Structure 1
Amino acid sequence: MSGTKKESHWIPLADLMTVLMVIFLFMSISYMALVEKRQKEQNKIFKDYEESKIALYNELNQAFKNDFAKWDLKLDNDLSIKFTNPQVLFGTGSSDITSHFQTILVDFLPKYLSVVLQEKYKDKIAEIRIEGHTDTKPIGLSGDPYIDNMKLSQDRGRNVLAFLRTQKCFINLQPTEKERLQYWLTANGLSYGRAVDKNYKISFDTKQPIDNDKSRRVEFRIVTTSEAIINEALKNIDNK
């Protein structure tokens, strides 16, 4: 009799264990499916990021292949185009665009816009930054050369953007294109925070001496939508 009671006591427990194992199995399968889905989404983002960068790089390289030496342009893998001759950009300590640089921009801007405003890049570009960079030489009287140069670099970036808006290549755009470009464009000043070495590499990264002549430059840099998503994901990881 006691054996019968003992057996009837363990049967429900065995059933419970079976149910729990089935639930755990379904949870494991669901979790694995979720992980696989997220991995596929991440892979798609990275693939899209690389494909967009390569396509834009190739088209920019093709558009300006005859101008790099003529205008002292440098195209980097981060989709930045650098104007690297400080003598033709601005006067020393000035944010006024020289007549020589204006002549260059008149030819440069239509070619640049013809690449970035293609319909196929409409959802691939998140931002186009016009960046002003200075050397490390002190200017002004504030006592903080970094801040003085920050204002100078911001004024230079802003003046290049203002000049763009006066050109036919901008004025004659379709309203939707003009709206898109205005959404993308920003003017940024970075003072000498990203001064470069003799090889145009960021001196802070390479630990090589700063080349003041090469550091005085203006850059047009494209940020792709995939790059923005990746940066936001990394930011969220850092905040956890």
Structure 2
Amino acid sequence: MKNNNEWINISDMMAGLMMFFLFISIIYMMEVSNEKKNVKEIVVTYRKLQKELNEKLNLEFKNDLTNWDAEILENNTIRFKSPDVLFETGESEISDKFQNILNNFFPRYLKIITEKQFENEIDEVRVEGHTSSRWLSAETDDEKYINNISLSQIRAKKVLEYCYLLDLTNENKKWLTKVFRANGMAFAKLIFKDGFEDIEHSQRVEFRVITKAEEKIFKIIDTLK
């Protein structure tokens, strides 16, 4: 009789453990399901926002892009791709021609990204400076990289500074102080043509919008790792 009771107790304990682990599994699956649902909702919002912004930017600047030697990418990056227009080789002072372009471009760009449907969804507005992988006087790869990262950072900062000091409203400037950033990329994101580095077009300035939806997606992905 005693053995039977012990067996029943062990069976009850095993059944209890099985129920416990089943309960944990259900909770985990629900959490994963909820996270997937959250990601889906965020992705839908992100795509909708990107599409609307892309349409607005293309409508606004379609007649200027050729004259500026610029393009609007699918991710809404606006790329100014003519190094001769932007800066002198190896220099960081903005050319007169690029100043005139920025005078025309930035207030209109700012007007779009501060529209109600975009303004509160934007995490960063980045000015990115990009270089080619060359530096003729550099004797080592280290020197080449350091020189290019320094130049690209200074150029990005100069463009940000020039845009920020334009005749903008106090409200716009207040918003920009929260989101406007300058990043020197050196040759981290080269442009290639026919499998080879496109030295000319790798030297460029880009304006990029980073949305809060992107940051949320990255955070959720990190928690699921």
Report the TM-score, using the length of structure 2 for normalisation. 0.86
The counterpart of 1:178, out of the listed 165, 173, 193, is 173
5 Å matches for 1:92-111? 92-111=89-108
Query: Which piece of structure 1 moves more, 92-101 or 31-40?
Result: 31-40
Aligned CA distance change for structure 1 residues 9 and 165 (closer, same or farther; 3 Å): closer
Contact 2:35 2:220 (8 Å CA) reproduced = no
Amino acid of the structure 1 residue aligned with 2:210 = V
Alignment partner, residue 124 of structure 2: 127
Of 187, 193, 197, the match for 2:188: 193
Question: Hey, what's the Cα distance between the residues in 2 that align with 1:23 and 1:157?
Answer: 57
Give the letter for the 2:214 counterpart. Answer: E
Deviation at 1:124, TM superposition (A): 1.5
Instruction: Map 1:216-235 to 2 at 5 A.
Output: 216-234=203-221
**Consecutive unaligned residues in structure 2, runs of 5 or more:** none
The structural deviation recorded for 1:182 is: 1.4
Contact 2:131 2:152 survives alignment (8 Å): yes
**Secondary structure at the counterpart of residue 197 of structure 2:** coil
Partner Cα separation in structure 2 for residue 7 and residue 151 of structure 1:
80
**Structure 2 CA distance for partners of 1:15 and 1:105, relative to 1, 3 Å:** same
Letter in 1 for 2:130: H
Selected match of 1:212 from 199, 203, 207: 199
Structure 1 residues 6, 233: closer, same or farther in 2, change over 3 A?
A: closer
Letter in 1 for 2:63: N
Among all aligned residue pairs of Structure 1 and Structure 2, give the percentage whose two residues are the same amino acid: 35
SS in 2 for 1:155: helix
Q: Larger Rg: 1 or 2?
A: 1
Which residue of structure 2 aligns with residue 164 of structure 1?
163
Distance 1:153 1:140, change over 3 A: farther
Q: Is the 8 A contact 1:127 1:186 kept in 2?
A: yes
- Give the letter for the 2:203 counterpart: R
Q: Secondary structure at the match of 1:190?
A: strand
Match of 1:50 in 2: 47
- Measure, in 1, the Cα distance between the counterparts of 2:35 and 2:221: 15
Cα distance change on mapping 1:31 and 1:71 into 2, 3 Å: same
Question: Measured at CA, do residues 48 and 89 of structure 1 come closer, stay the same or move farther in structure 2, by a change above 3 Å?
Answer: same
Q: CA deviation at 1:89?
A: 0.8
Q: Which residue of 2 aligns with 1:201?
A: none
Distance 1:9 1:236 in 2: 43
- Per the normalisation by structure 1, the TM-score is 0.81
CA distance in structure 2 between the aligned counterparts of 1:33 and 1:217, rounded to whole angstroms: 47
Cα pair 2:39 2:220 within 8 Å, conserved: no
The corresponding residue for 2:110 is 113
